[in-house]
Chain A
């Protein structure tokens, strides 16, 4: 168990360090890693305008396994979603099955341009799959005034952060394309997301409950 946790941590760290030093020339997620199974706020960034032109539209594809997607409102862009059927339905929270989900989020008609040498963020909230080690790729395309700048390339086989060669494979993939899709690596969270799911150990770890000694001292 120790070895597994250590390997996972080192692999995640290696991936984070590599991609940090390589820097995000491409579209990227501000959350390079996120807790598996959490309902999470995410931000996709267009790292720069469309080469030397203005961005007039951004589209992001929500991958399989990511549900309960809600774009965060912005007054600077019009936001739309395209839906898809979920077949077969998957269990949702509260016992209700999920039969439809967001397939694509579209931001368009900005009130001001995104200059080519500036980044811009596009926020949304989503429930991530409870699969620690999984690498989620968020395919994005920046639509320019004339032309398109896609970041949609995916690896040929899915990555797993628990793979001992994960870091090497990831580095090779990032070096093989100028248009990789932004990604988020899922890690196993230290504790469940919501307080009503916590155990006593979780509460002590989070420091939310006073100890008996402290209470007597008061």
Chain B
């Protein structure tokens, strides 16, 4: 009896549910204005044309600040069209028209189109020409970075000189003092780098450095791990230098300088370029050698000033022997880094990065010339107790100081542009410096996401690189990104990625014209059926 009842109920529900009708969910076929249209005059209405009758939930037109314009709340349907009249003229500018409608299958769908009135929509060429937006904070960033590099190298170099050289007793106290001062200055610059860097990332105004958002931006960037490593290393040096020559601790001096140099390996294009094991090693060697050379200049000048000629000669001879290997290592490591970053001699004079590197090399070779004079002329003169040699040596060291200042300046300027290695040569020659970068992990896959310039004034290029847990690129069958800005009620901005090399996908979005925290959902199909969903929030400024 129970079976009969069950069967009857099943039969009844079968008959009621037979043949689910094949409705499609709504698809936008066209819009007026068309997507990315640049209109001479303000449109009189916004029309979205779908492939079926839909029920509108909302239509909005937003300006670049996210403010709703037009006739909020007033829309009509006409067959498969949903439209909203615009009674007032829209001022010149770029707008985003967005919709959310219910399909015939009751499933909601949303989308957006961007259009402009009285001005062109910003193109990739505009961004390529501008090189991305900057604010007034770029100047403090550069100045602080100059002192950060110089002070860190001087502090670490002073430590290396004390450990590696026979420093005359009369010179030691001042070397310790110089080293300590440099370490203190360097530590302060690491902290300032966070504030200045965050304010620059936000393109903030004068008070940006005092905003929590600026520091939050900085803490989310590689400036934070660099500071977390660099500051403790410098604190060790401050303590070690503070003990003076009587309390010399070789271990602390070496540890402090090593940690301070290591702080440069977690940031920047050079140290993080693949293969990381090679480039990071080369950068470390390059920095240690540069630090030793910079750290040597003051003690050598001081030795020439206060010590007797013979003692000065002995110190210079010792330094010259070490300098040969130091300069060789400095040159080789620099050449490897340059070759990796520049990707060919042709780029040395045809790219911004290449020109700055060329200038740095030119000064370096001048410095080599000065060093050669020191080694081949002044050092032998000191050994022969030539009374005029110390003054000549001090004069040459002043020139070396000046060259070092220029080299550090050139090195800082290199950090402000993108090397050819990191530049993807797309249709418009766009530089992918990455206004925003993030790594998202989902299971055994990672997605390195880069959005350039992450700004509202131009097309945003998105690059995503997928890797497995062994670091190997993963070629996905299909990758799409869906953007939404909940605070403005925007959604449904979608794009499909184009593979530019195995595991790396490129997208272009013109619709991210409103500043805010945009949610990006990345759907990546590892195979036909296995979908991995990555989510991240991208600040668009």
Contacts and interface: CB of A to CB of B under 8 A. Distances in A.
Asked if chains A and B come from one complex, the reply is yes
Interface of A: 1-2, 5-6, 8-10, 12-13, 16-17, 19-20, 22-26, 28, 30, 32-33, 45, 47-48, 51-52, 59, 61, 104, 116-119, 139, 141, 147-148, 150, 152-153, 178, 187, 190, 205
B103 interface: yes
Given A25-B107, A178-B107, A190-B7, 6 more contacts: A5-B2, A9-B5, A25-B24, A28-B20, A116-B27, A190-B6
Q: Is the interface of A mostly helix, strand, loop or mixed?
A: mixed
B13 interface: yes
Interface stretch (B33-41, B53-61, B523-531): B523-531
Contacts of B21: 23-24
Contacts of B107: 25, 178
B528 A141 contact: yes
A153 B21 CA distance: 21
A8 B6 CA distance: 9
A9 B24 contact: no
Interface in B54-105: 103-105
A58 B109 CA distance: 24
Interface of B: 2-3, 5-7, 9-10, 12-14, 16-25, 27, 29, 51, 103-107, 109, 477-478, 496, 525, 528-531
A61 B528 contact: yes
Given A12-B13, A20-B17, A139 B105 contact: no
Given A13-B10, A17-B16, A19-B17, A139 B24 contact: no
Of listed A9, A52, A118, residue having the most chain B CB within 10 A: A9
A23 B20 contact: yes
Contacts of A22: 105-106
A44 B20 CA distance: 12
B10 A9 contact: yes
A111 B10 CA distance: 39
Contact of A178 (B16, B22, B109, B477): B109
A1 B24 CA distance: 41
Contacts of B17: 16-17, 19-20, 32
B529 A24 contact: no
15 contacts: A9-B6, A17-B17, A20-B16, A20-B17, A20-B20, A23-B20, A23-B21, A25-B103, A32-B20, A48-B24, A52-B27, A59-B529, A139-B528, A139-B529, A190-B6
A5 B10 CA distance: 11
A52 B29 contact: yes
Nearest to B531: A152
B529 A152 contact: yes
Given A12-B13, A17-B13, A23-B23, A190 B531 contact: no
A155 B12 CA distance: 28
A23 B19 CA distance: 9
Contacts of B29: 52
A187 B6 CA distance: 11
Contacts of A152: 525, 528-531
Contact of A153 (B18, B24, B106, B531): B531
A138 to B, nearest CB: 10
Nearest to A52: B27
Nearest to B27: A51
B22 A141 contact: no
B22 A45 contact: yes
